[in-house]
Amino acid sequence: MPDTNLIAETDSLEEGGKGHRFNVRNQDGEVMPAFVIRFDYQFFAYLNKCGHIAVELDYMPGEFFTDDGRTLICSTHGAEYAPDTGACLGGPCYGVGLESLGIAEREGRLYLDHENYEVVSKDV
Ligand code: FES
């Protein structure tokens, strides 16, 4: 797996803590924000786009979790999402979840592993 799709070191992500932001490019050349978080001792990545309005979830960079570290929350109107699936749990996402991105863990590093996207920058 090429290092160009490197997202983060696994030990740089705390359980239910601050996530890492990165940008991906799709097959049409469109660049989009994304993020990765650690939850329930696993890692999950999503496009950073609310299901309500297409805005980024985090007001403070990397702050995706509620205070209890159990759900992801959009800072604009408070829609909440399941950290492990991206499903809309409540608020104005009205059943529209986050778009999940495949990732792979190898030797303590996380890589994007998604056929439609490539990493163009990280720690953004
Ligand atoms: S834009 Fe995210 S809840 Fe409204």
22-45 pLDDT, tens digit each: 999 999 999 999 999 999 999 999
Return all residues near 72 (Cβ < 8 A) that are at least 6 apart: 37, 57, 64, 65, 66, 80, 81, 82, 83, 86, 98
Tell whether the model's pLDDT for residue 82 goes beyond 70: yes
Q: What is the pTM of this model?
A: 0.95
For tokens 């090429």, the residue is: 2
Q: Provide the pLDDT confidence category of residue 18 given band limits of 50, 70 and 90.
A: very high
Give nearest CA residue, ligand 1 atom 1: 53
Q: What is the CATH number of the domain that holds 65?
A: 2.102.10.10
In this prediction, residues 69-81 reach a mean pLDDT of 97
Report, as an integer, the average pLDDT of 58-79: 96
Once rounded to an integer, what is the mean pLDDT over residues 72-86?
98
- pLDDT value, residue 121: 92
Query: For the chain, what is the domain count?
Result: 1
| Atom of ligand 1 lying closest to residue 91 CA | 3
Distance 44 CA to ligand 1 centre (A): 20
Q: Find where tokens 């403070």 sit.
A: 60
Instruction: Tell me which of 58, 74, 81, 96 to substitute to probe ligand 1's pocket, judged by most ligand atoms within 8 Å of the beta carbon.
Output: 74
- Mean pLDDT, the chain, integer: 95
| 56-59 contact pairs (CB < 8 A, 24+) | 58/19, 58/21
Q: Is the pLDDT of residue 2 over 60?
A: no
Domain extent at residue 74: 3-122
Average pLDDT over residues 61-76: 97
CB count within 10 Å of CB 32 equals 17
Cα 78 from Cα 107, distance rounded (Å):
36
Atom of ligand 1 nearest to the CA of 53: 1
Ligand 1 center–CA 108 separation, angstroms = 33
The pLDDT score that the predictor gives to residue 112 is 96
The proportion of the chain whose per-residue pLDDT surpasses 70, expressed as a percent, equals: 98
